[in-house]
């Protein structure tokens, strides 16, 4: 069974620091990886997609993928209190239409 594991946290960082969120997956055929942000009481919002090894940057967000080690991470630079949310990692294989979600990491950015 495919699994996606995340540190449940909570993770607290001071405003302006780098927040680092990590995710490991068990299925070697997973090819696509996604990070979602979910504010309390709201639905998940896609913030990053990554499909190949290496880094992908989008503004203050950087996703890192290492398929050999089966992990994917999300770095948030210059963290802001508005980044406080639960971050969900998800993976899919090329043939599957579904995503497997991790349980999420709760991030708090302290002013």
Residues that bind another protein (CB under 8 A): 32, 34, 42-46, 49, 51, 88, 90, 92, 97-99, 101-104
Between 85 and 104, CB nearer to another protein:
104
Between 18 and 46, CB nearer to another protein:
46
Distances 3 to 64, 99, 102 between C-alpha atoms, Å: 19, 10, 8
C-alpha Rg value of the chain to the nearest Å: 13
92 is written with which tokens? 């899919």
Contact (CB, 8 A) for 89 and 69: no
CB of 1 to another protein, least distance (A): 10
Between 30 and 73, CB nearer to another protein:
30
CB of 30 to another protein, least distance (A): 10
CB of 101 to another protein, least distance (A): 5
From the number of C-beta atoms within 10 Å of its C-beta (0-12, 13-18, 19+), residue 52 rates as exposed
């Amino acid at each position: 069974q495919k699994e996606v594991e995340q540190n449940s946290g909570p993770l607290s960082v001071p405003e302006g620091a780098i927040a680092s969120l990590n995710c490991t997956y068990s299925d070697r055929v997973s090819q696509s990886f996604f990070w979602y942000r979910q504010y309390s009481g709201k639905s998940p919002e896609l913030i990053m997609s990554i499909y190949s090894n290496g880094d992908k940057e989008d503004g203050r967000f950087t996703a890192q993928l290492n398929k050999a080690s089966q992990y994917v991470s999300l770095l948030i630079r210059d963290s802001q209190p508005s980044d406080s949310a639960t971050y969900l990692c998800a993976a899919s294989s090329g043939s599957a239409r579904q995503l497997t979600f991790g349980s999420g990491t709760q991030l708090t950015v302290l002013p």
